[in-house]
C-alpha cells in the first residue's frame, strides 16, 4: 500500500500502485484487461481486507460475548475493536453503531422497530417512534427500493401516509416542494445522501433543517456516500444512518446502522433472542442498551473485522483524496458521455458536483444490449433500473446503463469506456437507416 501513506492528490500513477492491492483487477475478461466500473453495486477487496478476515478465522474464531475462555475473549476484543474503528470512521460513538447484514436489513430493522412502537403498550420514550393514521413518512422520488419499500410497508401496517419529494428533469430534488411536504404530520424523513443512479449529492443540511422544524426523525441512506466521501453523521445532524460494507472494500454480509444513543436506547428492538437481554422469565424479557439491544444471535464477526480493515485502508488513503479523485473521474465520465451523439446522461450536467458514477441511456439500444456489448470489450458496468424503478419512470425510462468508479480506477479506463460507448450505436446500426 505504498500509495496510501501519501498526502498528495491521487493521480493515475498513484492509482496504478493502489491497483496492486486488488488481485481481481489484474485478470482478463473476454480476452481483454478487466475494466471494473461497477463499484456502485459491489466494490473489490484489497489483499489486506481478505487477510484480516482469514487471520481472524485462523487465530481468533470463537463466539463473542459468550465464552469465558481466552479465545472467546480475543474474538470479542477483535469484534468490539472493529466497532470502534467503523464508528469512528463515520463520526459515531461506540454505543451508536450496530451491525446488520447490509443496509437493506438496517432500513428494514428501523421500519419494523418503529412498527413495534406503534402497537400495544410501550414506554413513554418509545412512543416517539409510533405512527398511526394521520402521521406521515416522507421519502424522495430518487430512492433505492431499500429506502422506499420498508417505509411503504410501515405505512401499510400502521395506517400512516407515505409522501415523496419529487425530482426535476435533471433528477434534482424540488426543494420548494419539500418545504411544503415536510410538515407538522411528518414523523419520519428518509432520503439518500447520494443517488445510486444520478450521482447527485443531496443537500443534507437543508433537508435536516426542514425535519427539525417539525420534530421529524431523519434517516439517511449513506450507501453511496460512506465509501466515497468524508462522512460525519454527527456533523450532518441525522438521527439514523445506514451503509453496507460490500460497497466500501469489505466482504458481503456486513452492514451498519448508526443511531443517536438516546434514540437507540428508547427504540424497541426488532430481532430478539440471545445476547440482547438482561433478564428473561417465562412471561417477559428486558433488553440491554445499544448496541447489544439490536444484535440478537450470532453476529457477522469476521465480516466486521474485515470491514474495520477496509475502513483502515480508506482512512490511510484519505477520504478527501478518494472523493477528489472520484469527482474527477465522474466529471470525465459525464462530459465524455454527453459529447457522444445519441447518449443521454441522467443526473447533473457536466460541471455540477456529483459522485464518480454516471448512468446513461443509449438511444435506440436497450440497456441490456449495451451491457453485453461493453462486457465483450472487458468492461463491467451495471444495467437495469438499479433498484430505482420510480426514478427511471419519472425520467421516462425503464432501464439505463451505469458506470461507477472507485479509488482503483484510472482515467484510461474511463476513456476506454467512452470509446466503447461511442461505437455502440454504429454497431447496432442505429441512426444509420440500417437498423438491425
Active site residues: 387
From residue 101, alpha-carbon distances to 67, 127, 256, 385 in Å are: 23, 27, 8, 23
**Grid coordinates representing 168?**
426535476
Q: State the CB neighbour count (10 A cutoff) for residue 363.
A: 12
For residue 57, list its beta bridge partners. Answer: none
> Can you say how many angstroms the Cα of residue 343 is from the centroid of all Cα atoms in its chain?
27
Residues 6+ apart with CB under 8 A from 116: 122, 268, 269, 270
Q: Are 18 and 321 in contact (CB under 8 A)?
A: no
Q: Are 375 and 197 in contact (CB under 8 A)?
A: no
Task: Choose among 357, 312, 340: nearest CA to 40.
Answer: 357
Q: State the CB neighbour count (10 A cutoff) for residue 28.
A: 9
The Cα–Cα gap between 305 and 311 comes to 10
Task: Choose among 314, 287, 282: nearest CA to 98.
Answer: 287
Reduced to 3 states (helix: H, G, I; strand: E, B; else coil), residue 434 is coil
The Cα–Cα gap between 113 and 165 comes to 24
> Can you say how many angstroms the Cα of residue 347 is from the centroid of all Cα atoms in its chain?
18
Query: Which DSSP category does 252 fall into?
Result: S
**Grid coordinates representing 26?**
489484474
For residue 279, list its beta bridge partners. Answer: 286
**Grid coordinates representing 316?**
490511510
The Cα–Cα gap between 297 and 28 comes to 41
Amino acid at each position: 500500500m505504498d500509495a496510501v501513506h501519501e498526502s498528495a492528490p491521487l493521480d493515475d500513477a498513484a492509482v496504478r500502485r493502489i491497483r496492486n492491492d486488488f488481485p481481481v483487477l489484474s485478470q482478463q475478461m473476454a480476452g481483454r484487461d478487466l475494466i471494473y466500473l461497477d463499484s456502485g453495486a459491489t466494490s473489490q477487496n484489497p489483499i489486506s481486507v481478505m487477510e484480516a478476515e482469514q487471520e481472524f478465522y485462523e487465530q481468533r474464531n470463537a463466539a463473542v460475548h459468550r465464552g469465558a475462555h481466552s479465545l472467546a475473549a480475543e474474538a470479542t476484543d477483535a469484534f468490539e475493536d472493529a466497532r470502534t474503528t467503523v464508528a469512528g470512521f463515520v463520526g459515531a460513538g461506540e454505543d451508536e453503531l450496530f451491525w446488520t447484514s447490509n443496509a437493506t436489513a438496517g432500513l428494514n430493522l428501523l421500519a419494523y422497530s418503529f412498527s413495534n412502537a406503534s402497537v400495544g403498550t410501550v414506554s413513554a420514550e418509545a412512543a416517539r417512534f409510533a405512527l398511526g393514521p394521520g402521521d406521515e413518512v416522507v421519502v424522495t422520488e430518487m430512492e433505492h427500493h431499500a429506502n422506499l419499500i420498508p417505509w411503504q410497508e410501515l405505512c401499510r401496517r400502521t395506517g400512516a401516509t407515505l409522501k415523496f419529494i419529487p425530482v426535476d428533469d435533471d433528477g434534482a430534488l424540488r426543494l420548494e416542494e419539500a418545504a411544503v411536504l415536510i410538515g407538522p404530520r411528518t414523523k419520519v424523513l428518509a432520503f439518500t445522501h447520494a443517488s445510486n443512479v444520478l450521482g447527485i449529492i443531496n443537500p443534507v443540511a437543508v433537508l435536516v433543517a426542514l425535519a427539525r422544524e417539525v420534530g421529524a426523525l431523519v434517516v439517511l441512506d449513506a450507501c453511496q456516500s460512506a465509501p466515497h466521501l468524508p462522512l460525519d453523521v454527527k456533523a450532518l445532524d441525522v438521527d439514523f444512518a445506514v451503509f453496507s460494507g460490500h460497497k466500501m472494500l469489505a466482504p458481503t454480509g456486513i452492514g451498519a446502522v448508526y443511531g443517536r444513543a438516546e434514540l437507540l436506547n428508547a427504540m424497541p428492538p426488532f430481532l430478539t433472542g440471545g445476547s440482547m437481554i438482561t433478564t428473561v422469565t417465562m412471561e417477559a424479557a428486558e433488553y440491554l442498551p445499544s448496541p447489544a439491544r439490536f444484535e440478537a444471535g450470532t453476529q457477522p464477526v469476521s465480516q466486521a473485522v474485515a470491514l474495520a480493515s477496509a475502513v483502515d485502508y480508506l482512512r490511510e488513503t484519505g477520504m478527501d483524496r478518494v472523493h477528489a479523485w472520484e469527482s474527477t473521474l465522474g466529471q470525465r465520465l459525464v462530459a465524455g458521455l454527453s459529447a457522444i451523439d445519441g447518449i443521454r446522461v441522467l443526473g447533473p450536467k457536466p460541471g455540477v458536483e456529483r459522485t464518480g458514477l454516471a448512468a446513461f441511456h443509449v438511444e435506440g439500444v436497450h440497456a441490456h444490449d449495451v451491457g453485453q456489448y461493453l462486457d465483450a470489450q472487458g468492461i463491467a458496468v451495471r444495467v437495469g433500473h438499479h433498484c430505482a424503478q420510480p426514478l427511471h419512470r419519472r425520467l421516462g425510462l425503464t432501464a439505463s446503463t451505469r458506470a461507477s468508479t472507485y479509488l482503483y480506477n484510472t482515467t484510461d479506463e474511463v476513456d476506454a469506456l467512452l470509446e466503447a460507448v461511442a461505437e455502440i450505436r454504429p454497431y447496432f446500426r442505429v441512426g444509420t437507416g440500417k437498423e438491425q
